């Protein structure tokens, strides 16, 4: 009976050691993936906020002029801290006129505001 208990403890240790080695090997990959996911989430939130600013500017332009602008160059941006932080990403925003209004998105993925 004593041999069975010793064998069981050795087996348990071996299993724990193998599991520990696998965990140590996988931990860096999990950390890198969560870091990439966090950066991607932050990027998405920033671009969504910028898209919202552009939609607000397009709507204001339409309210004043009675039509949508031909391009983003027609829009005016103020010196507010909110807009200044996002102006560097403005070239990544895509804008186009559509038969039913306009489309605003980024990196070729258009989202329709109307």
pLDDT digits (tens, 9 = 90+) for 68-106: 999 888 887 777 777 777 777 888 888 889 888 888 887
Phi, psi of 96 (to 5 degrees): -150, 150
Count, residues in the chain: 114
- The DSSP code for 99 is T
For the chain, give every domain's residue range.
2-112
pLDDT, tens digit, for every residue of 41-55?
A: 888 888 888 888 889
pTM, to two decimals: 0.62
Burial of 17 (0-12, 13-18, 19+ CB in 10 A): exposed
Phi first, then psi: give them for residue 100, nearest 5 degrees: -100, 5
* Long-range Cβ contact pairs of 59-68 (< 8 A, separation 24 or more): 59/113, 68/97, 68/101, 68/102
């Amino acid at each position: 009976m004593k041999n069975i208990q010793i064998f069981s403890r050795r087996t348990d240790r071996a299993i724990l050691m193998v599991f520990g080695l696998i965990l140590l090997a996988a931990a860096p990959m999990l950390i890198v993936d969560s870091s990439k996911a966090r950066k991607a989430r932050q990027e998405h939130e920033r671009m969504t906020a910028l898209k919202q600013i552009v939609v607000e500017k397009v709507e204001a332009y339409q309210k004043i002029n009675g039509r949508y602008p031909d391009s983003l160059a027609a829009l005016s941006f103020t010196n507010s801290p909110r807009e200044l932080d996002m102006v560097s990403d403005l070239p990544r925003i895509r804008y186009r006129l559509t038969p039913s209004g306009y489309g605003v998105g980024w990196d070729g993925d258009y989202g329709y505001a109307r």
